[in-house]
């Protein structure tokens, strides 16, 4: 953050110096200084493009403020300047200032946003691009702000559902490590001093404990784990790996239902937004395709797009597209009714509201499943270790007597 700010200040200083010396500096030197300023500005923009990240709340606030200012009659470039002055995050402020300069140079707003894919998602950029065509950017930004707020709230719910199990897992790891590395060695010393053999279960834990405390063995284990995780990560970047992980998301019991509900809710909400702001159905389907990060849903919307271009209605295209089984027949029937009545936007809004409630129920189901599952697994692990520690206690009297 500070490096970007320092570079920007230095670049601004060079620009000011170039303007002050334009009358006294030879033309060649003035051109050189101006070129240096532009090069440094381009270098800083390139670095921000690869490193800048913004909190979701900051992005929501930016979208809301821009919508309000444009609705008040302020031009886009002036709105961006005013918003940049209010942003406290130096990196995000530099990004907005660079976007403003790009817009002032004559580029479209969507193209300027596209230079920062880590901040503005393809869905965000596609919706802005569609609003530029339809001339209804204010309405699109308003709905987009609400959509981003909904996405942020959904993430909070899912993270909240996973917080308790993660705390339980951490406590279980601490308890297991305490029993194996501090309590168990005391029993080992007593038995070794008496020349007695440990119970089989206890001996297994002792061997595991020695393996984990031996530097050479631990190095081999950590190296294998890191290599395995790295190989899995690289495989996940391939087409086959991505499809395998995406299929796992869809087919995992309970969790898969939650994921499908999330994607459908997002897609229907986007369709509602696009159609209500006058965007064509093909553009809406294209945005929905870009908003899905699952290969199977992407294939579905891509197939629907191709069939709509061939002359099919949306409901018909969805029914014969690849992976159409991901979409409930009830949704297709409702959309078909909306097409016939000319109220596709209203119907998709009702579907979105229904699946939003269904998503909340899916999150509660996941929470209800995870808690007892975690308790069972962690209880079994800690219970096994406790039994392994109690077995020597039961025999300690005979060992001491011997």
- Distance between CA 213 and CA 75 in Å, rounded? 66
CATH of domain 146-402: 1.20.81.30
Long-range contacts of 337-340 (CB under 8 A, 24+ apart): 339/313, 339/314, 339/315
CATH 1.20.81.30 fits 54-120, yes or no: yes
DSSP for 92-126, written as a single string = HHHHHHHHHHHHHTT--HHHHHTT-TTTS-HHHHH
Which sequence spans correspond to the domains of the chain? 1-17+26-37, 54-120, 146-402
- Distance between CA 138 and CA 134 in Å, rounded? 11
- Could you count the other beta carbons within 10 Å of the beta carbon of residue 233? 10
Tens-level pLDDT at each residue, the chain (402 residues): 444 444 445 445 544 554 444 444 455 555 555 555 555 555 555 555 555 677 888 888 888 888 888 888 888 888 888 888 888 888 888 888 888 888 888 888 888 888 888 888 877 887 788 778 777 788 788 878 877 887 788 777 777 767 777 787 787 778 777 777 777 777 677 666 666 667 788 778 778 777 777 788 888 888 999 999 999 989 988 888 888 988 888 888 877 888 888 888 888 887 887 777 777 788 788 878 877 778 898 889 888 888 888 888 888 888 888 888 888 888 888 888 888 888 888 888 888 888 888 887 877 777 777 777 777 887 787 788 778 777 776 766 665 555
- Distance between CA 338 and CA 315 in Å, rounded? 9
- Residue 251: CB partners within 8 Å, gap ≥ 6? none
DSSP state of 136: -
- Residue 294: CB partners within 8 Å, gap ≥ 6? 246, 249, 250, 259, 263
Q: Which run of H or E residues covers position 293? A: none
- Distance between CA 179 and CA 125 in Å, rounded? 54
């Amino acid at each position: 953050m500070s490096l970007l700010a320092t570079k920007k200040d230095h670049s601004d200083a060079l620009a000011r110096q170039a303007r002050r010396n334009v009358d006294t500096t030879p033309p060649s030197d003035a051109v050189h200084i101006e070129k240096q300023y532009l090069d440094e500005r381009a270098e800083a923009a390139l670095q921000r493009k690869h490193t800048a990240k913004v909190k979701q709340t900051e992005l929501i606030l930016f979208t809301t403020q821009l919508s309000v200012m444009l609705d008040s009659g302020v031009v886009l470039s002036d709105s961006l300047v005013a918003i940049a002055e209010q942003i406290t995050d130096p990196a995000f402020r530099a990004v907005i200032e660079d976007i403003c300069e790009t817009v002032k140079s004559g580029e479209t707003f969507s193209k300027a946003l596209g230079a920062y894919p880590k901040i503005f998602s393809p869905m965000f950029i596609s919706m802005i691009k569609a609003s530029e065509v339809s001339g209804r950017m204010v309405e699109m930004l308003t709905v987009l702000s609400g959509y981003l707020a909904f996405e942020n709230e959904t993430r909070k719910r899912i993270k909240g559902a996973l917080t308790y199990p993660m705390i339980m897992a951490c406590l279980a790891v601490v308890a297991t490590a305490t029993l194996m590395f501090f309590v168990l060695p005391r029993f080992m010393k007593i038995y070794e001093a008496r020349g007695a053999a440990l119970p089989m279960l206890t001996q297994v834990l002792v061997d595991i404990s020695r393996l984990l405390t031996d530097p050479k063995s631990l190095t081999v284990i950590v190296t294998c784990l890191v290599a395995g995780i790295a190989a899995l990560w690289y495989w996940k970047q391939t087409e086959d790996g991505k499809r395998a992980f995406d299929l796992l998301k869809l087919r995992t019991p309970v969790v898969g239902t939650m994921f499908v509900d999330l994607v459908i809710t997002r897609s229907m909400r986007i369709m509602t937004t696009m159609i209500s702001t006058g965007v064509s159905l093909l553009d809406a389907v294209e945005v929905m395709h870009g908003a899905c990060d699952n290969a199977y849903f992407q294939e579905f919307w891509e197939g629907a797009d191709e069939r709509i271009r061939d002359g099919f209605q949306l409901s018909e295209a969805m029914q014969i597209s690849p992976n159409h089984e991901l979409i409930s027949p009830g949704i297709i029937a409702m959309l078909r009714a909306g097409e016939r009545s000319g109220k596709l936007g209203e119907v998709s809004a009702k579907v979105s509201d229904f699946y939003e409630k269904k998503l909340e129920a899916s999150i509660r189901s996941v929470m209800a499943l995870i808690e007892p599952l975690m308790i069972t697994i962690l209880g079994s692990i800690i219970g096994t270790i406790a039994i392994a520690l109690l077995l020597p206690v039961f025999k300690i009297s005979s060992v001491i007597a011997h």
